DNA sequence: CGCGCGATTGAGTAATTTCAAATCTAGTGG
DNA sequence: CCACTAGATTTGAAATTACTCAATCGCGCG
């Protein structure tokens, strides 16, 4: 399958696999397509899969006590997404995961992932590395959440992920950055005036 | 060494090791003692170690643009601490890590950790599991940072980590929760009046 | 016993949210 | 392919939440 090449290329960045190993690894992934707005994971159900995005855009969000959506993770091509807490600990999800564009993804089930990890030390290494990198990236996000003002967070985001900005509606970006749509709109407007 | 039993007991919760494996694993850890207020990791230097706390309390914090400390992680007995981003990616640290109490910890170097992971699939599995759990826990923290008010974050913290509250000064807890000491003080005071 | 750090309190201020209304925009059905 | 409409963005004013600053209090440690 064509998408298989994507995940093979991806894992190849982290561990060197033989041809057979690559095929074995890819065999546990199944191509799935989601239409824009389609629900992928919902609260209270256990997330059975994690998804590697081949092409498209997906976001994970929670609904706060006030009924407002807050984006927890945004993912586009070559990124992973799931309700991590639910998937890893196999506990009920707290998040919605939906497609923000028509999306092609590769899905792996929790059980198949366990099998892969147990089968081959290299596969285990791969999943360890992506977990570590995910943790490091979340730590950076926590730091920006607790040290920066809304405007600084916006600037950092634009700086680090310029390509993400255009692929999600503004209210999604705003909630990802921990502010209201209205306030993000005002920040952008102030910036224009300054420059 | 006595502390070795702590890490052996700990890894035993996640993977089953033979006696030899346990000894091999523990041999890469070195017991270190920190006095209260002692600096363990500092910004701009690469974090060479991660630490398993046998007994004591340690915190990691950054200094924001405004010169204020913001606690990124708090750790007590049986927890790990480091500047994750620095340690895992071997890049310059952005955080200070200091002892909040006299502390006994087990230190492992980045290189020794790589050796352990390469040597034995079980060790790799162990580090994968703690990375995953760390990522899941940080995801929960991100969610509370972006969905809850200061008062709600405080209540959740007290609920989840009642034992942590007494081991760190209030201003540390406040900065961990993303608010000022003064505001935390006011929250606590309001709660007393309500009950 | 007193020094110094941490916690509390209050007043004033800044950042951000809320609410409501006015555009703007993109997708859909005819 | 256009017109329409629902959803998204912008704008402004008022309200809230949280912060800053300054003063005071409390108390553990030397």
B85 and A140 in contact by Cβ < 8 A?
Answer: yes
A128 and B138 in contact by Cβ < 8 A?
Answer: no
* Residue A11 pLDDT class (50, 70, 90 cuts): very high
pLDDT tens readout for residues B4-34: 899 999 999 999 999 999 999 999 999 999 9
What distances in angstroms separate CA B36 from CA A135, B30, B168, one per listed residue?
Answer: 28, 19, 11
Question: For position B66, what pLDDT does the model report?
Answer: 83
C-alpha to C-alpha distance for B98 and B82, rounded to whole angstroms? 10
Question: For position A190, what pLDDT does the model report?
Answer: 80
**Share above pLDDT 70 across residues of chain A, in percent, rounded to a whole number:** 97
The overall average pLDDT reported for chain A is 93
Question: For position B65, what pLDDT does the model report?
Answer: 81
Judged against a pLDDT cut of 70, whether residue A32 lies above it is answered with yes
Q: Position of tokens 């977990």?
A: A131
Range of the domain at A100: 2-119
Judged against a pLDDT cut of 60, whether residue B169 lies above it is answered with yes
A138 and B143 in contact by Cβ < 8 A?
Answer: no
8 A C-beta contact, residue B23 and residue B46: no
C-alpha to C-alpha distance for A69 and A66, rounded to whole angstroms? 9
Q: How many Cα neighbours within 13 Å face the side chain of A54?
A: 21
Judged against a pLDDT cut of 90, whether residue A3 lies above it is answered with no
Q: Which of residues 105-164 of B touch strand D (CB under 7 A)?
A: 149-151
The residue that leads in pLDDT, A65 or B72, is B72
**Share above pLDDT 90 across residues of chain B, in percent, rounded to a whole number:** 87
Question: For position A195, what pLDDT does the model report?
Answer: 42
Question: For position A67, what pLDDT does the model report?
Answer: 84
A132 and B65 in contact by Cβ < 8 A?
Answer: no
Q: Which residues are CB-neighbours of B40 under 8 A, at least 6 positions away?
A: B34, B51, B58, B97, B98, B99
Residues of A in Cβ contact (< 8 Å) with B89? 133, 136
Q: Is residue B42 part of a domain?
A: yes
From the list A85, A128, A136, the residue facing B128 with the nearest CB is: A128
How many domains would you assign to chain B?
A: 1
Q: Which residue of B has its CA nearest to A88?
A: B132
CATH number for position B78: 2.60.120.10
Give the mean pLDDT of A31-57: 95
Q: What is the DSSP letter of B46?
A: B
| Strand C reaches within 7 A of the A149 CB | yes
Bases in strand C with any atom closer than 7 Å to a protein CB: 6-11, 15-20
Judged against a pLDDT cut of 60, whether residue A102 lies above it is answered with yes
Judged against a pLDDT cut of 90, whether residue B195 lies above it is answered with no
* Residue A116 pLDDT class (50, 70, 90 cuts): very high
Point out which residues pair with B39 in neighbouring strands: B98
Q: Is residue B65 part of a domain?
A: yes
Q: Is residue B10 part of a domain?
A: yes
- Cβ atoms within 10 Å, residue A37: 10
Q: Which residue of B has its CA nearest to A72?
A: B143
Torsion of CA A89, A30, A163, A191, to 10 degrees: -40
Judged against a pLDDT cut of 50, whether residue A23 lies above it is answered with yes
Q: Nearest nucleotide by C1' from B181 CA?
A: C7
Question: For position B191, what pLDDT does the model report?
Answer: 62
Helix, strand, or coil here: A94? coil
User: Whole-number Å distance, CA A56 to C1' D1?
Assistant: 28
Question: For position A192, what pLDDT does the model report?
Answer: 52
Judged on CB neighbours under 10 Å (0-12, 13-18, 19+), B159 is: exposed
pLDDT tens readout for residues B120-163: 999 999 999 999 999 999 999 999 988 999 999 999 999 999 98
Q: Is residue B106 part of a domain?
A: yes
Q: Which of A122, A132, A50, A47 is nearest to A92 (CA)?
A: A47
pLDDT tens readout for residues B106-132: 999 999 999 999 999 999 999 999 999
Question: For position B145, what pLDDT does the model report?
Answer: 87
Q: What is the DSSP letter of A43?
A: T
Helix, strand, or coil here: B103? strand
Judged against a pLDDT cut of 90, whether residue A146 lies above it is answered with no
C-alpha to C-alpha distance for B158 and B3, rounded to whole angstroms? 29
Q: Is residue A53 part of a domain?
A: yes
Q: Is residue B179 part of a domain?
A: no
8 A C-beta contact, residue B107 and residue A151: no
Q: Position of tokens 């910004």?
A: B43
């Amino acid at each position: 399958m064509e998408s298989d090449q994507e995940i093979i290329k991806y894992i190849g960045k982290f561990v060197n696999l033989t041809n057979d190993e690559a095929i074995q690894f890819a065999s546990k992934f199944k191509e799935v397509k989601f239409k824009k707005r389609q629900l992928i994971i919902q609260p209270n159900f256990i997330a059975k899969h994690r998804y590697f995005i081949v092409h498209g855009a997906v976001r994970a969000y929670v609904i706060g006590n006030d009924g407002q959506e807050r984006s927890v993770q945004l993912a586009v091509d070559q990124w992973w997404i799931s309700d991590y807490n639910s998937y890893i600990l196999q506990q009920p999800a707290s998040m919605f995961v939906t497609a923000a564009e028509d999306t092609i993804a590769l899905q792996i089930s929790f059980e198949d992932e366990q099998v892969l990890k147990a089968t081959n030390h290299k596969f285990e290494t791969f999943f360890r590395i992506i977990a570590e990198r995910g943790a490091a990236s979340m730590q950076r996000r926590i730091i920006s959440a607790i040290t920066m003002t809304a405007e600084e967070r916006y600037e950092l985001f634009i700086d680090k992920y310029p390509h993400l900005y255009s692929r999600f509606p503004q209210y999604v970006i705003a909630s990802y950055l921990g502010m209201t749509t209205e306030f993000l709109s005002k920040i952008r407007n102030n910036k224009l005036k300054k420059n």
